[in-house]
A = this chain, B = another copy of it.
């Protein structure tokens, strides 16, 4: 059993091509013995964004703070605190911060990526 506050976990800059001002903290991972999926917390600064990309694994997301936009093929969906987001594998997607405060959300992925 593990209990840890997110702010005790070091944030790492996301250096993937196409990312701007994004930090990730791995809250629960294989290192904790989690057998199936990982919990990460992302922070995007105002004006920042994740890459517009796709991959074979899904995302399960929960918006904690800030206002964002989820860009998918031909569409942009507003995001606000309390929103749950499911992005299936194989769909292009990008998370953008469109607010003046940090956009903070959880994003969970299966290990088998």
Contacts and interface: CB of A to CB of B under 8 A. Distances in A.
B83 A58 contact: no
Contacts of A79: 3
A77 B27 CA distance: 17
Interface of A: 1-7, 27-28, 32-37, 39, 41, 58, 60, 62, 64, 70, 72, 77, 79-80, 82-89, 91, 93, 106, 108, 110, 112
Q: Which 7 A-B pairs have the closest CB atoms?
A: A27-B84, A36-B110, A2-B86, A28-B86, A5-B82, A3-B77, A37-B37
Copies per assembly:
2
B83 A3 contact: yes
Contact of A39 (B35, B80, B84): B84
9 contacts: A1-B93, A3-B70, A5-B83, A6-B83, A6-B84, A28-B86, A37-B60, A39-B60, A39-B62
